[in-house]
Amino acid sequence: MEKVIIIGAGIAGLGAAYALKNAGGAPVVLEKDSTWGGLCGNFEVQNFRFDRFVHFSFTKNEDVNAIFMQSSPNFYTHLPNPFNIYKRKWIKHPAQNNLFPLERKEKEKIISDFFKRSSLENLQIRNYEEWLRAQFGNYFAEHFPMVYTRKYWMSEAKDLETKWIGNRLYQPSLEEVILGSKTPKTPATYYAKEMRYPKNGGYKSFFLKLIEGQDIVYNSEVNLIDIFHHKIKTIGGKEYKYDRLISSAPLPEIIKMLENVPPKVKNAVDKLRCTSGYQISIGLKTMNIPSYLWWYIYDEDILPARVYSPSLKSLDNAPDGCSSLQLEIYCNEDQYSQTELYNRSVGELLKMGVIHEEDILFIDVRFERYANVIFDKYVYNSRKFVRDYLNDVGIETIGRFGEWDYLWSDQSLLSGLNIKL
């Protein structure tokens, strides 16, 4: 039987293992962590459960839904209710057609710019900033998405391209903008109509079907791939022979595992950029928290770009009578001291009265090296060059960081499920 090694037991790696096993194969999955799930996994602190960044399912794919429902038939269905913080005010999401809480003069500036927008049909859009200005007018673009781009993407909007946008940003009509400036009673325009989440076990419970009968070797971080002898070595010194190698590891990490990589490939991988981020997880001995599943923060002096509540996603994520929040801060590791991380995140929520110090049971801080792919002008050519090289040396790449793409969890799963059998 063909010896197949899969690097990574995240959702893409598990998808590939599931597809191969169903086709009669017996893949071995090497996972560097002590459990499966990758970025879709979770961790526990004092009987509170936190996902690694916010996760919901809103997929319409029948194959993915079948796996999710078989894995966790008991789940919550939430209506999306995201909000924003802008100048310390709560604004319904998306802000562009929910301007009601803003001061009259600021609303007038935004609406005036919407009147002046140039038609996209007549413009040669060269970057994300130009796209934002054309869609939303200068004032809104400069004070909302361009600011958020710096916080979430660690980049200026002018340095990003636009193919990744899809339906992620709502593009309202002028009439919608005017209506949303006059009343808070506006229709929901979020791109997903419902968000599903397991009642027990966190988001990764949607993948339980994938791990049935799988040979997953934990605490097995690969540090060397010998492409000539089809052999893998782990940090612990164990060796594995393979006939076929599939990797969901980030492209820069795979390249580090190889010897004698051509300079042009190293050059290309050096141009692949991604965000890193801190997760600041808070356990609270109260259930008195904002009622929004998640919210975005535009104010740049407050470090988190996004906050969500695990306890609102599922009661199983927190002890009785308690609640939780997780703050997502995108930055380079050690860019901020621990004191600054606290003061400009938890400290700001305390000042706003969103939470209260006497209710805090603990604050847990964790760092993720790989969070989101940055779509600058180099990304498409560079990732193709690197992936083509890896394919030429017999390494198939899957998943968000193996494909180096903006994949939601269902798309990452499909990346694994759709491998060649």
Q: Do the Cβ atoms of 18 and 10 come closer than 8 Å?
A: no
- Domain presence at residue 47: no
User: Does residue 362 sit in the same domain as residue 388?
Assistant: no
For residue 210, what pLDDT is reported?
98
Q: Which domain holds residue 220?
A: 4-41+202-270+378-417
For residue 354, what pLDDT is reported?
97
Q: Do the Cβ atoms of 386 and 265 come closer than 8 Å?
A: yes
Q: Residues with Cβ < 8 Å from 86, sequence gap 6 or more?
A: 95, 102, 143, 144, 298, 299
Q: By C-alpha distance, which of 412, 365, 411, 15 is closest to 250?
A: 412
**pTM score of the predicted model:** 0.95
Say whether pLDDT at 403 is over 90. Answer: yes
Place of tokens 């193996």: 402
User: Does residue 293 sit in the same domain as residue 307?
Assistant: yes
Say whether pLDDT at 122 is over 80. Answer: no
User: Does residue 385 sit in the same domain as residue 402?
Assistant: yes
58 conformational bin, left if phi > 0, alpha if psi -120 to 50, beta if neither: alpha
User: Does residue 157 sit in the same domain as residue 128?
Assistant: yes
- Domain presence at residue 337: yes
Say whether pLDDT at 120 is over 80. Answer: no
For residue 390, what pLDDT is reported?
98
User: Does residue 311 sit in the same domain as residue 350?
Assistant: yes
Residue 121 pLDDT class (50, 70, 90 cuts) = low
For residue 119, what pLDDT is reported?
63
- Domain presence at residue 298: yes
Mean pLDDT of the region 223-240: 96
User: Does residue 261 sit in the same domain as residue 297?
Assistant: no
User: Does residue 177 sit in the same domain as residue 104?
Assistant: yes
Give 152-205 pLDDT, tens digit per residue: 999 999 999 999 888 888 999 999 999 999 999 999 898 889 999 999 999 999
Per-residue burial over 73-94, b if 16 or more Cβ lie within 10 Å, else e, is eebbebebbbbbbbeeeebbbb
- Domain presence at residue 54: no
For residue 117, what pLDDT is reported?
83
Say whether pLDDT at 220 is over 80. Answer: yes
- Domain presence at residue 57: no
Place of tokens 């076990």: 201
Mean residue pLDDT across the chain: 96
For residue 232, what pLDDT is reported?
97
- Domain presence at residue 50: no
Q: Which residue has the higher pLDDT, 327 or 164?
A: 327
Residue 412 φ/ψ, nearest 5 degrees: -65, -40
- Domain presence at residue 137: yes
Share of the chain above pLDDT 90, in %: 94
What CATH number should be reported for the domain holding residue 243?
Answer: 3.50.50.60
User: Does residue 354 sit in the same domain as residue 386?
Assistant: no
- Domain presence at residue 88: no
User: Does residue 366 sit in the same domain as residue 281?
Assistant: yes
For residue 168, what pLDDT is reported?
86
Residue 116 pLDDT class (50, 70, 90 cuts) = confident
User: Does residue 166 sit in the same domain as residue 117?
Assistant: yes
What CATH number should be reported for the domain holding residue 357?
Answer: 3.90.660.20
- Number of domains observed in the structure of the chain: 3
For residue 123, what pLDDT is reported?
74
For residue 166, what pLDDT is reported?
83
For residue 124, what pLDDT is reported?
83
User: Does residue 337 sit in the same domain as residue 305?
Assistant: yes
User: Does residue 351 sit in the same domain as residue 404?
Assistant: no
Say whether pLDDT at 311 is over 70. Answer: yes
